[in-house]
Amino acid sequence: MRVELITVGTEILMGNIVNTNAAYLSEQCVGIGLSVLYETTVGDNEERMLDAIRRAISRVDIVILTGGLGPTPDDLTKEMVAKALGKELIEDAHSKEMIASYFQKRQKVTPNNWKQALIIEGCMVLDNHNGTAPGLIAEAENGVKCILLPGPPDELKPLFAEQVRPYLESLQEDHFYSKMVKICGVGESAVADRIGDLIEAQTNPTIATYAKIGQVHVRVTAMAKTPEEGERLLAPMMGELRKRFGDDIFTEEESVTLEETVVSMLREHGLTVSFAESCTGGMASARIVNVPGASDVLNASFVTYANEAKHKLIGVKKETLEKYGAVSPQTASEMAFGVAKAAHADIGVGITGIAGPDGGTPEKPVGLVYIGVAYGDDVAVIENHFSGNREKVRERSVNVALDLVRRALLVKKNS
């Protein structure tokens, strides 16, 4: 079934707040197999709101509106939906009671608030236990459902989860089932090239790629009547993707990040990691530490930005720095070994490069980053040429560093 989300609120159009409600509702709807085809945001303006509602009713099966259910005169969502449906607003005794009891526990009710007890005639009322605006479900003549929900996320989310989601699930016959593969170490266009034939031939399941910094996420989605049928439709495509990308896939879990994969692999092997960061300045460590429970796998890291720090804190040789320079494979290698030793870690990672915008030379241009990973007596050093601004170069560096740790652990697993 096709869904349109309409967010009502001038504060969104002014850029005062980010529309996280739309992201929440989209994810929820997609999760139960609905197709969200449009998201529209309009301000508190009668004409434009009415226009948006009428258009939505003409082109989807379910319209979900958030916001504009407040007590003030510029809250117009109910009024405009009623108008679009050719219905009246009537006072709902039950909602009035709910509002009265809400205010009993809090400040004085203002006359404005009784506006929130008005409902669209013939609609279904959804009690709001976290605020005074009830949710409403009203039906248009053509059968399209209009679902009106309050804007504050802490009212919207429980109302949706407890009452709207079960309602939507009950409307459907076919469901969507989707799986994800997240890929590291292959660029977006290269991924598209490798699966161009699959994308070209897609019907059910469908494939979509999403480019992230240093990663590509591929989503496979099947439409099916049952989870079993969904699984059956998804399995061959997932097998194909695994065959084509192999170890480049770092997870098949929707919510799992690269750093979470690395932390759980380290934990599985009972190993610790430590970073010596120059141009990334602590970002790699911070990514690991953002994973709850990171203390199992990381005790310490070093930001060794100056040459002096590289030498004194993690023992990079002065001769190495003089002969090859701070940005060199030799320095990256010594940083990796040195930090593992200084932090008593099993795996040491050294990151040194030129993030720009200044500091580049013809031999060592901006974007040149060496990343070394030392594990036992072995070290691998990768030379990278990243594009983009300072922040992007650094983010890409971190991504490659984390991926190299992952690959080092894969080698261990397979050996």
Judged by CB under 8 A, the chain residues 180 through 239 that form the site for its own copies are 187-190, 192-193, 196, 199-200, 208-211, 217, 219
**Of the candidates 37, 48, 35, the residue with the CA atom closest to the CA atom of residue 80:** 48
Q: By CB under 8 A, name the one of 1, 30, 125, 380 that touches its own copies.
A: 30
Q: Which part of the chain contacts its own copies (CB under 8 A), choosing from 141-149, 275-283, 375-383, 400-408? A: 275-283
Closest to its own copies by CB, 87 vs 394, is 394
| Helix orientation angle between 77-85 and 46-59, rounded to the nearest 10 degrees | 50
Could you tell me how many residues of this chain bind its own copies (CB under 8 A)?
112
Site for its own copies in 337-376 (CB under 8 A): 342-343, 356-358, 365, 367
- SS3 state of residue 306: coil
* Residue span 133-162 as binding mask against its own copies, x where in contact by CB under 8 A, dash where not: -------------------x-x---x----
Which segment (119-127, 224-232, 317-325, 379-387) binds its own copies by CB under 8 A? 379-387
CB of 50 to its own copies, least distance (A): 13
Candidates 215, 251, 280, 331; binder of its own copies (CB under 8 A) is: 280
Considering the rule CB under 8 A, would residue 264 count as an interface residue with its own copies? no
Binding mask 99-138 for its own copies (x = CB under 8 A): ---x--xxx-xxxxx----------------xx-------
CB of 357 to its own copies, least distance (A): 6
Both tokens assigned to 375: 């594990």
Q: State the helix-helix crossing angle for 307-314 and 329-342, rounded to 10 degrees.
A: 40
Q: Which of 306, 318, 361, 383 forms a contact with its own copies (CB under 8 A)? A: 306
Residue 413: CB minimum distance to its own copies, A: 25
Q: Which amino acid is located at 322 in the chain? A: E
Q: CB within 8 A of 97, min separation 6: which ones?
A: none
Q: Is 386 in the site for its own copies (CB under 8 A)?
A: yes
Question: Environment class of residue 39 by beta-carbon count within 10 Å: exposed (0-12), middle (13-18) or buried (19+)?
Answer: middle
Minimum CB distance to its own copies, residue 387 (Å): 5
Nearest to 180, CA basis, from 107, 104, 273, 251:
251
Site for its own copies in 45-64 (CB under 8 A): 45, 48, 52
Q: Strand pairing partners for 220? A: 179, 207
- Kindly state whether residue 324 participates in binding its own copies, applying the rule CB under 8 A: no
With contacts defined by CB under 8 A, name the span among 83-91, 159-167, 308-316, 327-335 that binds its own copies. Answer: 308-316
The string of DSSP letters for 229-271 reads: HHHHHHHHHHHHHHHHHGGGEEE--TT--HHHHHHHHHHHHT-
Report d(CA 134, CA 87) in Å as an integer.
18
270 binds its own copies (CB under 8 A): no
Q: Alpha-carbon distance 118 to 112, whole Å? A: 11
Considering only residues 42, 148, 149, 408, which one is a binding residue for its own copies as defined by CB under 8 A? 42
Q: What does the alpha-carbon distance between residue 280 and residue 67 come to, in Å, rounded to a whole number?
A: 42
Please check whether residue 65 is in contact with residue 8, taking contact to mean a CB–CB distance below 8 angstroms: yes
Q: Which is nearer to its own copies, 124 or 192 (CB)?
A: 192
